[in-house]
Amino acid sequence: MSSIDEIKARIDIVDLASEAGVKLRRSGRTQTGFCPFHQNTRTPAFVIWPETGTWRCFGECGEGGDIFKFVMKKEGVDFKEALRRLAERAGVQLESFQAEKPEQKEENQRLRNLLEDAVTFYRHQLLNTPGGKPALDYLLEKRKLTLQTIENFGLGFAPHSWDATLNHFKAKHYSEQDLLDVGMLAERENGGYYDKFRNRIMIPIRDENGKMTGFGGRILDPNDIPKFMNSPQTVLFDKGRLLYGLDRARKPIRAADQAVIVEGYLDVIAVHQAGFENVVSPMGTALTEDQMRLLKKFTRKIVLALDPDVAGQKAVLRGLDAARASMDREGELGFDARGMLRNEARLQADLRVATMPDGLDPDEIVARSPEEWKKLIEAAKPIVEHVLDALMAGQNVNDARVKSEIASQVLPLIEDLPDPVVRDSYRQMLARRLKVDERTLIGKHVQGGPPVRPVKRPGVEPAQVQKPEKAAVSASNPSRKLEMACLGILLRRPDLLPRLDRRLQEAGLGALSVADFEYTDHQLMLGLIQQSLEQDHVEQRAFVEARLDESLKDTFLALMALPAPSGLDDHVIDDLTRQAISVRAGSLTASVNQLRFLMEDSAGQSGRELARAYNKMVSEQALVKKCFDTLRQNMSNHRRS
């Protein structure tokens, strides 16, 4: 992953704009507000797309871009300085990240293909073999899953054998090293290999984009250990940076503006089957900051649906600071109230806790009553309230010593909160619940020494929290990939840019420009390519490389790693034209949709004059789209002739 993608994965454009004084409000998949780059108090025409990390002003300035462009324009700095500042904020060492080499990318894809083949193999074992029947019966009868759900989630069965998986894939010409690299084999102490997963229900684990990364395996024999076994750490599988079910839950999370976290894989599957699809699970360990960053791309409202026997009241009663150490074991979701509060403050999220009643797991709750599950999630409490309820449960709160012990555990949580108004509110609540004078609580805290509070600025880590070594995910997305595909051709064939511009102009469109690209590094790369055509001293690509700033080298390497254009020039220019059209059309679609929303949203606020202005802008966008269609038709006619 390049350092640019690393920084984008760690820094939220919404936080960046909010800190710059932009007051935003959520509107579907976007955030809107008044543009900070020009005077405007009537029309909230500044729009942010949190999922892609981009922004645009539909008002006077018409500017747009990513987090780098925002900082460049706001602070009046160049790309290199914006990169340095944002890297420092994100905790990224610029020199330690390089673009993925082509051979590594090819190897990773080969390993993903192996994992996809493994999904097919394990599914066959579950559905079509005598050995898999007990596992299938368990899923159907005990866990109440349907065959359709089993198919949707790709569930399978690992044979009760030391070498069935190994022999199957060796016959398909995969090597032992391949199987070892994806975590399907383990090494014997005396040499050789054996199947890592045996007699287990197999659960494919995919990243948020649906790409295979590894497996989770659940026991059938209660005497086997551990109950759940994940793939080991591999180049594809990093359990601290994955959330099970996120590939299927992305859209439901965004639609509900809420993510629910449960402990187990099968809990996720059962709750999805019941119709609540905004549910994910960590990989059996304490919820990490990287996992919260993943969710924050889709929502800031997160509910932890904690199993009562693992991470609820029992964990709290073991001591707040010791909870993570005592509960962070394979197969158990650790609950560290203090750590979660710090994450909540640093990431500006809304983190709540819902405890399951009657000793039931989430899958048992939805089986008993889907409506009950819905009400439990709606009733989720802020962390401080959850901890206080858990500590007071079954206690004699009229006992002075009990009051003192509860206050000693809850006060540090309250003092960790960055908002003074919230801190005061919780102190008042604690005083009411314990029936003591609030001044007594303040005095008790002062005697205990000053609290350690997290730094308020998002992106700056408190000293108590260890920084992740690398980003959770790449910031790549469809629009970025489209831009890269277009630039990848132009970087190798700059001479095609004038021909592309002529085609666009003949169709009634303007020439390709930096305004067509959302991402700052791409805008700068196109600018270098355009400059290379304005000189005739050296070959164009050599010109680009010679003037390449250090901050753009990762982008350059990533573009050069793309497949080189091949075939006749006419075919290459056709491909380039399609890519350029797609780049501009993608931006156009987002613009049209957002303009329509702004028009509707402002109609009741700014009157008919503003509505007419938006209508005019939408009409102009529609005209441009018509030109796109004409150009596509001309290309199609040219190919047929």
In a domain, 278, yes or no: yes
Give me the residues paired with residue 203 across strands. 216
In a domain, 74, yes or no: yes
Residue where a domain stops, chosen among 331, 366, 393:
393
d(CA 430, CA 353): 18
d(CA 313, CA 394): 11
Claim to verify: residue 208 and residue 121 sit in the same structural domain:
yes
Question: 587: which 2 tokens?
Answer: 């931006």
How many degrees, rounded to 5, is the angle at CA 329 between CA 325 and CA 331? 145
CATH code where residue 220 lies:
3.90.980.10
Claim to verify: residue 217 and residue 250 sit in the same structural domain:
no
Q: Is 513 helix (H, G, I), strand (E, B) or coil?
A: coil
Residue where a domain stops, chosen among 393, 412, 431:
393
In a domain, 629, yes or no: yes
d(CA 641, CA 637): 6
Instruction: Please name the residue ranges forming H helices in 534-568.
Output: 540-546, 553-560
* Domain count of the fold of the chain: 4
Q: Is 255 helix (H, G, I), strand (E, B) or coil?
A: helix
Of the candidates 333, 341, 184, the one whose C-alpha atom is nearest the C-alpha of residue 268 is: 333
d(CA 27, CA 14): 13
In a domain, 451, yes or no: no
Claim to verify: residue 528 and residue 635 sit in the same structural domain:
yes
In a domain, 418, yes or no: no
Domain membership of residue 627 as a residue range: 478-640
Residue 244 DSSP one-character state = B
Claim to verify: residue 75 and residue 108 sit in the same structural domain:
no
In a domain, 410, yes or no: no
Strands (E), 184-253: 185-187, 193-195, 200-206, 212-219, 228-230
Claim to verify: residue 43 and residue 116 sit in the same structural domain:
no
Claim to verify: residue 226 and residue 252 sit in the same structural domain:
no
Do residues 170 and 138 lie in contact, with contact meaning Cβ atoms separated by under 8 Å?
Answer: no
In a domain, 304, yes or no: yes
Claim to verify: residue 162 and residue 301 sit in the same structural domain:
no
Claim to verify: residue 627 and residue 575 sit in the same structural domain:
yes
Q: Is 281 helix (H, G, I), strand (E, B) or coil?
A: strand
Per-10-residue mean pLDDT, the chain, length 641: 77 88 81 83 79 81 86 84 86 60 75 96 97 96 96 97 96 94 91 94 94 95 90 90 92 90 92 96 76 82 72 42 34 56 69 85 92 95 86 86 88 80 88 86 56 36 35 53 90 89 82 84 90 82 81 84 80 87 76 65 50 63 72 66 56
Claim to verify: residue 206 and residue 262 sit in the same structural domain:
no
CATH code where residue 29 lies:
3.90.580.10
pTM above 0.75, yes or no: no
* Phi, psi of 229, deg, nearest 5: -130, 125
Claim to verify: residue 224 and residue 255 sit in the same structural domain:
no
Claim to verify: residue 51 and residue 72 sit in the same structural domain:
yes
CATH code where residue 361 lies:
3.40.1360.10
Claim to verify: residue 250 and residue 233 sit in the same structural domain:
no
Q: What pLDDT, on the 0 to 100 scale, is given for residue 583?
A: 84
Residues written for the chain: 641
Residue where a domain stops, chosen among 393, 421, 453:
393
In a domain, 585, yes or no: yes
Do residues 366 and 270 lie in contact, with contact meaning Cβ atoms separated by under 8 Å?
Answer: yes
